Amino acid sequence: MTMLAVRELHVHLGESHVLQGVSFEIREGGVTALLGRNGVGKTTTLRGLLGLAPRRGSIVLDGAEISALPTHEVVRRGVGYVPENREVFAGLTVQENLRLAERPGGRHHYDLVYELFPRLKERRAQRAGTMSGGEQQMLALARALLNDNRVLLVDEPSQGLAPHLVADVADALARVAELVTIVLVEQNLSLVRRLARDAVVLDQGRAVWAGDAGELLGDPGRTRDYLGVGVAR
């Protein structure tokens, strides 16, 4: 089943026509990677889906058109966002960060979050800013999982993390992907290889390839042409 269908999405930022008619579909469940060279518009696509960037085009979430909705309404319909750089409140405790993320009127899945991330439970009284980067990334994911989300948009979760922390974050994302559909922007192709079932590639303001992530990453020519890198190990 299709969870998210994007048709002819356009975003202008300042003078730049960054997204020039992006179209793709995200299947329900698992991880779809949104890939492409630096600056191609991956973050802008996530922000456009959320209404954080002014957009034009069609965005259908689970059968309902959401492209004209304001951000808070898109979020209320079950689209969670884990932005780049984690953005946790460093001076607040883990528990306070989670409490601030509670979406009014919905259910809050503390049991799920603490089961998935026992370290957050152990550290619930600790200030977020004193935790490791990997733990902060888990807190950022936990904030999105606390609410009833159908889709999580996760931007560069491995950025700036030491390799052993990347492995922890990958384990967490793999478990989260059993519960909710994930759209993942990620430069670390070994992480993409491990987690993603499907992939969409952006280039020059459009989606230029979509299909099986393993097929893309298993093809050195395509990986080089689309992503500007050598073969992912």
List interacting residues with ligand ATP (CB under 6 A).
13-14, 16, 18, 36, 38-44
The least distance separating ligand ATP from the CB of residue 71, rounded to whole angstroms, comes to 16
Cβ distance to ligand ATP smaller for residue 36 or 80: 36
* β-sheet with 198-203: strand ranges across: 79-82, 151-155, 181-185, 31-35, 198-203, 206-212
Q: Where are the beta strands (DSSP E) in 36-117?
A: 55-61, 64-65, 79-82
The least distance separating ligand ATP from the CB of residue 38, rounded to whole angstroms, comes to 4
What radius of gyration, in Å, describes the C-alpha atoms of the chain? 17
Cβ distance to ligand ATP smaller for residue 42 or 123: 42
Query: Rounded to the nearest 5 degrees, what angle is found at the Cα of 115, between the Cα atoms of 112 and 117?
Result: 105
The least distance separating ligand ATP from the CB of residue 99, rounded to whole angstroms, comes to 30
Cβ distance to ligand ATP smaller for residue 14 or 63: 14
**Residue-by-residue DSSP string for 179-209:** TSEEEEE-S-HHHHHHH-SEEEEEETTEEEE
Cα torsion 60, 66, 71, 72: sign: negative
Cβ distance to ligand ATP smaller for residue 40 or 140: 40
Cβ distance to ligand ATP smaller for residue 95 or 190: 190
Cβ distance to ligand ATP smaller for residue 145 or 196: 196
Closest alpha carbon to 199 in 49, 32, 37? 32
The whole-angstrom separation of Cα 151 and Cα 219 is 28
The least distance separating ligand ATP from the CB of residue 55, rounded to whole angstroms, comes to 12
The least distance separating ligand ATP from the CB of residue 156, rounded to whole angstroms, comes to 7
Cβ distance to ligand ATP smaller for residue 42 or 86: 42
Dihedral-angle region of residue 95 (phi above 0 means left; psi in -120 to 50 means alpha; beta otherwise): alpha
The least distance separating ligand ATP from the CB of residue 166, rounded to whole angstroms, comes to 17
The least distance separating ligand ATP from the CB of residue 12, rounded to whole angstroms, comes to 9
The whole-angstrom separation of Cα 209 and Cα 203 is 9
